[in-house]
Structure 1
Amino acid sequence: MDLSIAGILMLDGITNGAIYALLALATVLVFAVTRVIFIPQGEFVAFGALTMATLQLGKTPLTVHFLLAMTAAVLLLDGWAAWRAGQGLRKPLLAAALPALIGLLALWLAPQQLPLIGQALLTLAIVTPMGGLIYRLAYQSLADATVLVLLIVSVGVHFALTGLGLAFFGAEGSRNPSFWEASFNAGPLMLSGQSLIIVGASIALIVLLWLFFERSLYGKALRATAVNRLGARLMGISSTGAGQLAFTMAAFIGALSGLLISPTTTIFYDSGFLIGLKGFVGAVFAGLASYPGAALGAVLVGLLESFSSFWASAFKEVIVFTSILPVLLWRSLRDPHQEEH
């Protein structure tokens, strides 16, 4: 291996690591706020990429109907709960209004052959509300359950979303057009415009997340819920609202990651699981607690994957996922496990 090959591998690793960093941040966010190890995070990647591919064909993606179906289910559950509590239906109707409006608008806009940026924005609008709806349907009633129970639920949600992905998009993969076709030469390296967009968008989103948590009231509420759920609840912060917001943000990050990575690789209905799992490995490097540590760990995962593909391409996945073992051993020795009650 010479320096030019090492540079190419490093560039590829940083590009992939930027995507893994976004998913690692989403994983840490969801776990910190809700204690849910969100295995289906990668499904939002596949839903985002394949929804965009369907819009490219001028068709209405079935994810729109899925969004409307989940909205109706949530409205039914919240309406029933409000009726039993003797409350009006105003609050459930207001909560369902935005995703329902997005779904109906998407039904009209999908066949219109929007420009590429318009299709990307429509995709984000379709997939992002799914996060909060999934939290309401699958996790909200189990918010106080143990981490193990929540993990089992996450496994079930993952298989359900994977099966729905197969029904929605079929077994064939899709690759979306690049958002920027330019290429730049830097010595022996050739930088594509899409790679620059991936890294730039990842850095921008990380900065926006930092500003959100540091400067906004909602961000501080999420931080308070992550630090002490009971204390935040006593201070008037809704743990239910915090959970829905965390899942919504995770869905947005996953869908955006799918849009960014789909021009560089073919995405299948089940591709998101492996991509999300690598983001999870990066998050574990940080102990599912530190956002900067998760981002750094994810970039290291991308570099490890890139160089492993050169030295032992047949075993690159094994090398990446085996790297988590010494980290887990070290954390187990450093922080002895305490039984959860």
Structure 2
Amino acid sequence: MNFQIATLLGQDGLTNGAIYALLALSILLVFTVTRILLIPLGEFVTFGALTMAAIQMGKAPVLEWLLLLLTTIDCSLDIYQQARTRIDKTKLQKTALKLGYALLMVGLMHYLNLAETPMFFQAVLTLCLIVPLGPIMYRLFFQPLADAPALVLLIVSIATHVAMVGVGLLLFGPEGARTQPFSDSGFRLGNVMLKSQTLWIILVSIVLIVSLFIAFERTLYGKALRATAVNRMGARLQGISPVFAGKATFALAAFLGAASGILIAPITTLYYDSGFIISLKGFVGAIIGGLISYPIAAIGAVAVGMIEAFSMFWASNYKEIIVFTLIIPFLIWRSMNSQHVEDEE
């Protein structure tokens, strides 16, 4: 291996590691706030990539009908709960706004000239379609079981993942897709040409991570989520709604997952079932952080990306095994250093 090969592998490792870091932070955020291991996170990645590809081809991505269907079910449940208790005009207005938003997205997908819109607007449309699916998913599948044991939540998460994979096959078909790159230019570093798409991925990932840090440190809603992550019961006693916390974290996870799919779609072909392996590597980073530490999880995810890239050079047939074997020593070390305190349940 010479310097040129090492630089190219390092470039790929940083690119993959930046995506894994975003997914690791998403997994960690959802788990600390809701006790849910978000197995379907990878489907947000593939839905983002395939929806962006469909928009660039000038086709309505079909995902808007899924959004409308799930929103209708969500609104129907809200109206049913209102009918059983007391009619609240404010809540009814929010229900009408949710349904109106879904109808608006259906209209935009079918009346806009999608292929001719700027790429930034295409990405915004993709995010507008996918991000609302996060809170709706929490509302329909997890909110009724919010106080259930963690094992029940894990089983529901796995079932949701399997269902979303099937929905992805139904909506997008078995064919893979790749989107247009954000930029075709490159930068030369010695004898190595750095791809501009790599720089885009690293830059956007850093911006998103820093923005999350600022949001959690400086904003009221961010502090509310932090309080829920530290002590759910204490946060509830202080008036922080666990329903709001769950929906907010799922919305952030959907946003980060869809953004990750948009970022990597120009450099790799994604299929309807590609998301699970990608999110699983983010999960390895979250495990390295002990499902507690955000900075260590991000660093661990970048390390996973680097190890994966260099494993492709030395032992390409075993790169997946090498990456997932990283979990074992960290689990052993965490187990030996934990104090085995009973769960607060």
* TM-score for both structures, normalised by structure 1: 0.96
Residue correspondence of structure 1 range 229-268 to structure 2 within 5 A:
229-268=232-271
Looking at structure 2, the residues matched to 165 and 57 of structure 1 have their Cα atoms a distance apart, in angstroms, of 18
Which one of the candidate residues 297, 300, 305 is aligned to 2:303? Answer: 300
Q: How many residues align?
A: 341
Aligned position for 2:76: 76
Alignment root-mean-square deviation, CA: 1.4
Change (3 A) 1:263 1:112: closer
Which one of the candidate residues 269, 272, 275 is aligned to 2:272? Answer: 269
Looking at structure 2, the residues matched to 290 and 109 of structure 1 have their Cα atoms a distance apart, in angstroms, of 43
* Structure 2 contact 68–99 (Cα < 8 Å) conserved: no
Aligned position for 2:170: 167
Looking at structure 1, the residues matched to 153 and 191 of structure 2 have their Cα atoms a distance apart, in angstroms, of 48
After superposition, the C-alpha distances for 1:291-330 in whole angstroms (9 at most, x for unaligned) are 1111101000001100111111001001100111111111
Change (3 A) 1:211 1:174: same
Change (3 A) 1:124 1:339: same
Change (3 A) 1:64 1:110: farther
Looking at structure 1, the residues matched to 168 and 270 of structure 2 have their Cα atoms a distance apart, in angstroms, of 12
Q: Counterpart of 2:180 in structure 1: which amino acid?
A: P
Aligned position for 2:228: 225
Q: Counterpart of 1:34 in structure 2: which amino acid?
A: T
Q: Secondary structure at the match of 1:39?
A: coil
Aligned position for 1:43: 43
Looking at structure 2, the residues matched to 283 and 2 of structure 1 have their Cα atoms a distance apart, in angstroms, of 32
Q: Secondary structure at the match of 2:176?
A: coil
Change (3 A) 1:238 1:97: farther
After superposition, the C-alpha distances for 1:93-137 in whole angstroms (9 at most, x for unaligned) are 344444443343333336563222221111111111110111101
Aligned position for 1:14: 14
152-161 or 107-116: bigger deviation: 107-116
- Pair 1:85 & 2:85 matched: yes
Which one of the candidate residues 153, 178, 185 is aligned to 2:188? Answer: 185
Q: Counterpart of 2:315 in structure 1: which amino acid?
A: A
Unmatched runs of 5 consecutive residues or more in structure 1: none
* Structure 1 contact 25–283 (Cα < 8 Å) conserved: yes
Looking at structure 2, the residues matched to 106 and 224 of structure 1 have their Cα atoms a distance apart, in angstroms, of 39
Q: Secondary structure at the match of 1:33?
A: helix
Deviation, 1:91, is 4.2
Q: Secondary structure at the match of 2:267?
A: coil
Aligned position for 2:127: 124
Aligned position for 1:64: 64
* Structure 1 contact 99–129 (Cα < 8 Å) conserved: no
Deviation, 1:228, is 1.1
After superposition, the C-alpha distances for 1:175-201 in whole angstroms (9 at most, x for unaligned) are 101001101110132111100000000
Unmatched runs of 5 consecutive residues or more in structure 2: none
After superposition, the C-alpha distances for 1:27-74 in whole angstroms (9 at most, x for unaligned) are 111111111000111100000000011111211111110001110010
Q: Secondary structure at the match of 2:132?
A: helix
Aligned position for 1:284: 287
Q: Secondary structure at the match of 1:47?
A: helix
Change (3 A) 1:112 1:307: closer
Q: Counterpart of 1:210 in structure 2: which amino acid?
A: F
Q: Secondary structure at the match of 1:190?
A: strand
Change (3 A) 1:270 1:210: same
Change (3 A) 1:111 1:186: closer
Which one of the candidate residues 321, 325, 342 is aligned to 1:318? Answer: 321
Aligned position for 1:334: 337
